[in-house]
């Protein structure tokens, strides 16, 4: 209510200003002044305002820097992040210099050269030398920025060390899952058609293929019998037939996948990616060892997400249909960072930074960076825990429509069709 | 001066263009470029008001998350703002439609549609556009697409809500979010019609500039406005069709079961049939328009300010040829930079390096423009009209926004700031604020030409200074929110302790946004009051050189009552030494032995 009142007052204030201007207009009309004639007083007033604005603008800027310096991201917690910070500071130095010089010239001229009837503007149409100077000078600044920037970029995006720890970050609406390799040190192959409640990442193994095919067969059998025995409206029957056709397509493709897998295994033996899925560790916790290069393999199940870890200056999109990568070396443990920031509750956060749906704003997973020993202990116990599908992501108030847990549906239908089996 | 300009043609008759027009053919299905220009402007103003209101609604949520606002419920209804609290899906919808409306409907159609239409024929000395009919069609397609876009707000499931960039798969899968249902379909159809409108308009502008210039109007005597509109039209012609194809392919993926953008998707408990497509394909196609689009928005604004600054500084624009060169260079380079939006999309990093290079190249012509503006102001005699204030304001925001672009163009730095509020602040300053300031400058400057009346200067001052303060009050702090790592398109940050420290900036930003909104009420009042009741304008109120000020104040079909004037000089002979007046219109022949300047 008070807000409405404030709004009302403001609107009235504006109307008052408008009326004042109108009165002014009428009086100047009486004095024979035309609207397009800008009076010397108006020119002087605006000239002064340009200077006043400049001072306030800079003061506001400097105040923001001063007051919010501590709220910016703390020191980078990764090796490449330190490079990014140095590059960032270098760029800021150039940018702020240019900003203050050009803005000051602009506001200075705007205030200084306000119209005076006793003066004529300087007829100055061009000067090729001058123009050459301000083409070449920015060009050389930019050359430095480009070269320095690209060197950093190449370091960051170059190939990862062969012994880097591979960790998969798997995104779906609206949570993250991590996958660590087992003893073989390699992550197994995946296929989205094998996703179900127990296999949320679609890891390919012979068993998972068999289970998925059985589930599809059971679902199909259930639908077949429904079609035969129940009396259904045409539209519903049509739907069921479509669904059956869909299941058959799926099953056909899974059979193809099985053939591919068998060929690959026959060819490569133990080196085949299909041989490494069984011991992978799938977990809702995200831990990384200190000072060890890690190659993040980033995937998505449904829409584009983005794996963003601000404190480690790491970001890469998760794109359905492809695996993206980001390599990094964490350099500060969570505990040390708690001391650096003076915040006992500090956590590194992996958050989603590509619009992905209603609960996009709460798709996060804490990251723990710890020394190798602690990490090893965590890994050992993570292996022993079977993966638990988490409860549905509960959105904070005000509740958006609850995101459907996409793993629930197939599991349910399996149960339902299992009951229909003869 | 009017007598000077029209003197050579005083003998020509005045009566030949008087044939009665019906209300419908004059005000609705008009083929006169001046009327069409007004239609574009009014429609764009309405769209801008709606777009701005949307931003205020989501700014309220960002400043005071979860709080109840009677205004939200009043405007959005209890479905989308139950108990006055904005629904997260609607939040996304507002963000998406705000972006779409502002970028396309206000700053593309509003700027080019209004000012290219008004100024190209008047400034090159043509009776009308090359095709009046296509021009009319262009407006009405724009109108239709505007209506459709607004209609999409009212469908079940809400409007498109995957961001104005509508990246698939999110925008392709109704299962993924309610806004990707009917709302998204209407969004695509509306955009397809919008693109048709834009193409018809651009085609007309290009043909008119190339073929209908009056005697003596060499390309190198055209005002920089016309150069900017011309380059904009060419860029639009080459890039908008790509967006059209992107939209059509997305429509097919959505409804015909194709897989251009979709592959390996498991959503809502089901593995989809789509295989082999790539979401990156859409991003390439989208940004192939999307980045030139920035310049489609910016170039006309820069053209307008070049003209306004020269006129009101009573001084030639410095480096006329360099300005043309930079407009053309920017136009050309704008096609080679699109993938700087995709550094972390999963695209090959080497490709990224190429785009770092081309993107930073574009800073060179931009810097040249800024320095040329500064030199034009230097030792000028600046008449502080509201249009002049907005033009100088544009240069200020162009500097601030252009410089932060250097950070975003640097792929290594983009890793940290990509999709954070830093990006939002950057493009609002460089593209939003600059372009809208250019538009305001254009409206204040050419209002006498459009409506034959003057806007109130005092209100213009208050409008400018409030808007200027509000613009920086909103966007300067927003950079800091972004540097703290806060992602864009978040409904709320309350789940993240790490952003707590900058959340009071969100309140500050919203307060300045409200101030900015209120300032626009002054403009609206001034505009509509002056259309009907403003003091009558004289023929050449700003004592300007260009041809449009040689036409009569009252609009006539065919623009000039007699023959079209002949052009004898470039448009920037202000304060030329040896001349009594501080301006020499383009129609004044060179004196014996007088050299023609052009930058």
**Tens of each residue's pLDDT in chain A, 422 residues:** 666 777 788 778 878 887 887 787 777 777 777 888 899 999 999 999 999 999 999 999 999 999 999 999 999 999 999 999 999 999 999 999 999 999 999 999 999 999 998 989 999 988 999 999 989 999 999 999 999 999 999 999 999 999 999 999 999 999 999 999 998 889 999 999 999 988 999 999 999 999 999 999 999 999 999 988 888 888 899 999 999 999 999 999 999 999 999 999 999 988 899 999 989 999 999 999 999 999 999 999 999 999 999 999 999 999 999 999 999 999 999 999 999 999 999 999 999 999 999 999 999 999 999 999 999 999 999 998 877 655 444 334 343 444 444 443 343 334 333 333 33
**CA distance, residue B300 to nearest chain A CA (Å):** 21
Q: Which chain B residue is nearest to residue A44, measuring alpha carbons?
A: B384
Distance (Å, whole) CA A177 – CA A389:
10
Total domains in the fold of chain B:
1
Residue A3 confidence (pLDDT)? 67
Residue A246 confidence (pLDDT)? 92
Distance (Å, whole) CA B156 – CA B145:
19
User: A420 or B503: whose pLDDT is higher?
Assistant: B503
B443: part of which helix (H) or strand (E)? helix B434-451
Whether B498 and A310 have beta carbons less than 8 Å apart is answered as yes
Q: Which chain B residue is nearest to residue A36, measuring alpha carbons?
A: B541
B26 part of a folded domain: no
CB pair distance less than 8 Å for A304 and B85: no
CATH code of A303's domain:
2.60.40.420
Whether A261 and A274 have beta carbons less than 8 Å apart is answered as yes
Whether A286 and A366 have beta carbons less than 8 Å apart is answered as yes
Q: Which of residues 351-410 of A touch B (CB under 8 A)?
A: 351-362, 364, 395-398, 400-401, 404, 406-410
- B271: β partners: B266
- The partner residue sitting opposite B374, judged by closest CB among A71, A105, A172, is A105
B596 part of a folded domain: no
pLDDT tens-digit series, residues B106-139:
999 999 999 999 999 999 999 999 999 999 999 9
A146, A254: one domain? no
Q: What is the mean pLDDT of residues B290-307?
A: 95
A49 part of a folded domain: yes
Q: Which chain A residue is nearest to residue B93, measuring alpha carbons?
A: A358
Residue A183 confidence (pLDDT)? 87
Residues of the domain holding B453? 32-262+274-550
CB pair distance less than 8 Å for B346 and A14: no
Distance (Å, whole) CA B389 – CA B383:
9
A184, A138: one domain? no
> A34 by DSSP, 3-state: which?
coil
ipTM: 0.93
B563 part of a folded domain: no
Distance (Å, whole) CA B584 – CA B571:
8
Q: Which of residues 28-47 of A touch B (CB under 8 A)?
A: 29, 34-36, 38, 42-43, 45-47
Q: Which residues of chain A have a CB within 8 Å of the CB of B353?
A: 150, 153-154
Total domains in the fold of chain A:
2
A304, A353: one domain? yes
Residue B389 confidence (pLDDT)? 97
Whether the per-residue pLDDT at B456 is higher than 70: the answer is yes
A422 part of a folded domain: no
Residue A379 exposure: Cα atoms within 13 Å on the Cβ side: 21
Q: Which chain A residue is nearest to residue B419, measuring alpha carbons?
A: A353
A305, A363: one domain? yes
A411, A276: one domain? yes
Phi, psi angles (nearest 5°) of residue A168 = -95, 135
B13 part of a folded domain: no
Q: What is the mean pLDDT of residues B474-495?
A: 95
A9 part of a folded domain: no
**CA distance, residue A106 to nearest chain B CA (Å):** 6
B50: part of which helix (H) or strand (E)? helix B33-63
- B199 band by pLDDT with thresholds 50, 70 and 90: very high
- Is the whole-model pTM more than 0.90? yes
Q: Which residues of chain B have a CB within 8 Å of the CB of A99?
A: 399-400, 403
Residue B105 confidence (pLDDT)? 97
Residue A406 confidence (pLDDT)? 41
C-alpha distances (whole Å) from A395 to each of A175, A181, A391, A398 are 11, 31, 12, 8
Whether the per-residue pLDDT at B144 is higher than 80: the answer is yes
Q: A303 CB near a chain B CB, below 8 Å?
A: yes
Q: Which of residues 268-297 of A touch B (CB under 8 A)?
A: none
A405, A283: one domain? yes
CB pair distance less than 8 Å for A304 and B170: yes
- The partner residue sitting opposite A304, judged by closest CB among B279, B459, B490, is B279
Whether the per-residue pLDDT at B187 is higher than 90: the answer is yes
Instruction: Mark which of A134, A157, A180 sits at the end of a domain.
Output: A157
pLDDT tens-digit series, residues B345-358:
999 999 999 999 99
- The partner residue sitting opposite A103, judged by closest CB among B82, B399, B465, is B399
Whether B88 and B66 have beta carbons less than 8 Å apart is answered as no
Distance (Å, whole) CA A178 – CA A158:
23
CB pair distance less than 8 Å for B501 and A71: yes
Whether B41 and B110 have beta carbons less than 8 Å apart is answered as yes
A271 part of a folded domain: yes
Distance from CA of residue A87 to its chain's centroid? 21
A176, A150: one domain? no
A248, A147: one domain? no
Whether the per-residue pLDDT at B215 is higher than 50: the answer is yes
B399 part of a folded domain: yes
A328, A406: one domain? yes
CATH code of B384's domain:
1.20.210.10
CB pair distance less than 8 Å for B498 and A349: yes
What HEC string does B63-100 produce? HCCCCCCHHHHHHHHHHHCHHHCCCHHHHHHHHHHHHH
CB pair distance less than 8 Å for B455 and A35: yes
Total beta-carbon pairs less than 8 A apart between chain A and chain B: 417
Distance (Å, whole) CA A114 – CA A46:
8
Cis amide linkage into residue B55, ω under 30° from 0: no
CB pair distance less than 8 Å for A351 and B472: no
Q: A314 CB near a chain B CB, below 8 Å?
A: yes
Residues of the domain holding A102? 31-116+126-157
Q: Which chain B residue is nearest to residue A156, measuring alpha carbons?
A: B412
Q: Which of residues 1-20 of A touch B (CB under 8 A)?
A: 1, 3-4, 7, 10-11, 14-15, 17-18, 20
C-alpha distances (whole Å) from B157 to each of B93, B152, B179, B430 are 10, 10, 5, 33
Q: What is the mean pLDDT of residues B302-308?
A: 96
Residue A417 confidence (pLDDT)? 37
A172, A91: one domain? no
Q: Which chain B residue is nearest to residue A129, measuring alpha carbons?
A: B319
Q: A64 CB near a chain B CB, below 8 Å?
A: yes
A149, A267: one domain? no
B10 part of a folded domain: no
B404: part of which helix (H) or strand (E)? helix B386-409
B83 part of a folded domain: yes
B284 part of a folded domain: yes
Please say whether the dihedral angle defined by the alpha carbons of residues A90, A95, A96 and A98, taken in this order, is positive or negative. Answer: positive
Q: Which residues of chain A have a CB within 8 Å of the CB of B406?
A: 91, 94-95, 142, 145
Please say whether the dihedral angle defined by the alpha carbons of residues B222, B225, B227 and B233, taken in this order, is positive or negative. Answer: negative
A131, A246: one domain? no
A3 part of a folded domain: no
Instruction: Mark which of A108, A134, A157 sits at the end of a domain.
Output: A157
**CA distance, residue B170 to nearest chain A CA (Å):** 5
Distance (Å, whole) CA B176 – CA A360:
11
CB pair distance less than 8 Å for B454 and A354: no
């Amino acid at each position: 209510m008070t807000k409405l009142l404030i709004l009302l007052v403001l609107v009235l204030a504006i109307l008052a200003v408008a009326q004042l201007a109108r009165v002014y207009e009428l009086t100047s009309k009486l004095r024979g002044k035309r609207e397009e004639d800008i009076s010397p007083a108006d020119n002087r007033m605006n000239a002064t305002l340009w200077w006043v604005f400049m001072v306030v603008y800079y003061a506001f800027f400097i105040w923001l820097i001063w007051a919010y310096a501590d709220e910016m991201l703390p020191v980078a917690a990764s090796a490449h992040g330190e490079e990014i910070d140095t590059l960032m500071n270098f760029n800021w130095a150039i940018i702020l210099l240019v900003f203050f010089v050009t803005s000051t010239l602009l506001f200075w001229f705007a205030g200084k050269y306000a119209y005076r009837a006793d003066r004529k503007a300087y007829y100055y149409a061009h000067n090729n030398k001058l123009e050459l100077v301000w083409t070449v000078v920015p060009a050389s600044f930019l050359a430095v920025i480009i070269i320095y920037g690209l060197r950093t970029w190449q370091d960051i995006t170059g190939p990862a060390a062969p012994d880097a720890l591979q960790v998969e970050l798997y995104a779906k609406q609206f949570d993250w899952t991590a996958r660590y390799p087992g003893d073989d040190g390699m992550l197994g192959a995946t296929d989205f058609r094998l996703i179900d409640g127990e296999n949320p990442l679609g890891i390919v193994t012979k068993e998972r293929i068999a289970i998925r095919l059985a589930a599809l067969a059971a679902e199909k059998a259930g639908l077949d019998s429904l079609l035969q025995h129940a009396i259904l409206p045409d539209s519903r029957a049509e739907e069921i037939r479509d669904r059956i056709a869909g299941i058959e397509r799926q099953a056909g493709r899974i059979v193809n996948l099985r053939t591919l897998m068998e060929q690959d295994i026959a060819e490569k033996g133990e080196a085949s990616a299909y041989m490494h899925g069984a011991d992978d560790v799938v977990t809702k916790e995200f831990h990384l060892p200190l000072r060890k290069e890690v190659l993040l393999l980033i995937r998505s199940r449904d829409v584009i997400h983005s794996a963003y870890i601000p404190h480690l200056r790491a970001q890469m999109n998760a794109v359905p249909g492809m695996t993206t990568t980001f390599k990094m070396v964490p350099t500060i443990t969570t505990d040390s960072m708690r001391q650096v920031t003076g915040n006992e509750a500090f956590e590194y956060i992996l958050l989603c930074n590509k619009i992905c749906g209603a609960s996009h704003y709460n798709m996060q997973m804490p990251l723990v960076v710890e020394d190798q020993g602690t990490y090893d202990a965590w890994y050992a116990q993570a292996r022993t825990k079977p993966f638990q599908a988490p409860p549905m992501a509960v959105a904070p108030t005000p509740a958006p429509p609850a995101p459907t847990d996409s793993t629930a549906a197939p599991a349910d239908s399996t149960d339902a069709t299992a009951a229909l089996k003869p | 001066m009017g007598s000077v300009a029209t003197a050579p043609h005083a003998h020509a008759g005045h009566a030949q263009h008087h044939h009665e027009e019906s209300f419908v053919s004059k005000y609705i299905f008009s083929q006169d470029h001046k009327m069409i220009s007004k239609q574009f402007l009014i429609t764009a103003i309405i769209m801008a008001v709606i777009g701005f209101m949307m931003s205020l609604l989501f700014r309220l949520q960002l400043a005071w998350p979860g709080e109840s606002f009677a205004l939200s419920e009043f405007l959005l209804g209890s479905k989308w703002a139950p108990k006055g609290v904005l629904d997260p899906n609607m939040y996304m919808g507002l963000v998406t439609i705000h972006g779409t409306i502002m970028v396309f409907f206000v700053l593309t159609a509003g700027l080019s549609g209004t000012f290219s239409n008004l100024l190209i024929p008047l400034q090159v000395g043509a009776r009308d556009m090359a095709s009046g009919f296509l021009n009319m069609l262009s407006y009405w397609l724009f109108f239709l697409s505007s209506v459709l876009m607004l209609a999409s707000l009212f469908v079940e499931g809400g409007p498109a809500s995957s961001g104005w960039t509508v990246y698939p798969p999110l925008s392709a899968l109704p299962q993924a979010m309610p806004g990707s249902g009917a709302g998204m379909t209407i969004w695509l159809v509306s955009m397809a019609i919008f693109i048709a409108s834009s193409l018809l308009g651009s085609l007309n502008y290009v043909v008119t500039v190339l073929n209908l210039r009056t005697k003596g109007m060499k390309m190198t005597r055209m005002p920089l406005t016309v150069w900017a509109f011309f380059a904009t039209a060419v860029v639009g012609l080459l890039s908008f069709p790509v967006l059209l194809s992107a939209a059509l392919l997305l429509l097919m993926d959505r409804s015909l079961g194709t897989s251009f953008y979709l592959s390996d998707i498991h959503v809502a408990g089901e593995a989809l049939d789509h295989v082999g497509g790539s979401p990156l394909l859409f991003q390439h196609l989208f940004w192939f328009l999307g980045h030139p689009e920035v310049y489609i928005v910016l170039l006309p604004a820069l053209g307008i300010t070049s003209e306004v600054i020269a006129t009101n500084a009573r001084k030639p624009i410095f480096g006329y040829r360099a300005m043309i060169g930079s407009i053309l260079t920017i136009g050309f380079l704008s096609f080679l930079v699109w993938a700087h939006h995709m550094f972390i999309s999963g695209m090959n990093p080497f490709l990224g390096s190429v785009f770092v290079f081309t993107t930073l190249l574009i800073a060179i012509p931009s810097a040249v423009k800024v320095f040329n503006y500064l030199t034009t102001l230097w030792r000028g005699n600046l008449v502080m009209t509201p249009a002049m204030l907005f033009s100088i304001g544009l240069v200020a925001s162009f500097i601030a926004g252009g410089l932060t672009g250097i950070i975003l163009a640097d792929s290594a730095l983009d890793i940290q700031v990509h999709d954070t509020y830093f990006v939002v602040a950057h493009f609002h300053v460089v593209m939003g604020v600059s372009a809208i300031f250019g538009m305001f400058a254009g409206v204040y400057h050419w209002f006498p030409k459009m409506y034959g009346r003057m806007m109130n200067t005092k209100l213009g001052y208050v409008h400018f200074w409030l808007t200027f303060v509000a613009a920086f009050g909103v966007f300067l702090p927003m950079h800091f929110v972004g540097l703290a790592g806060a992602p864009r398109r978040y409904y709320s940050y309350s789940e993240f302790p790490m952003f707590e420290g900058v959340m009071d900036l969100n309140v500050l930003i919203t307060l300045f946004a409200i101030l900015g909104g209120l300032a626009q009420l002054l403009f609206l009042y001034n505009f509509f009051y002056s259309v009907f009741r403003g003091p009558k304008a004289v023929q050449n109120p700003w004592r300007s050189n260009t041809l449009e000020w040689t036409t009569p104040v009252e609009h006539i079909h065919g623009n000039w009552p007699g023959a079209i004037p002949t052009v004898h000089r470039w448009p920037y002979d202000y304060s030329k030494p040896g001349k009594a007046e501080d301006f020499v219109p383009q129609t004044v022949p060179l004196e014996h032995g007088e050299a023609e300047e052009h930058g």
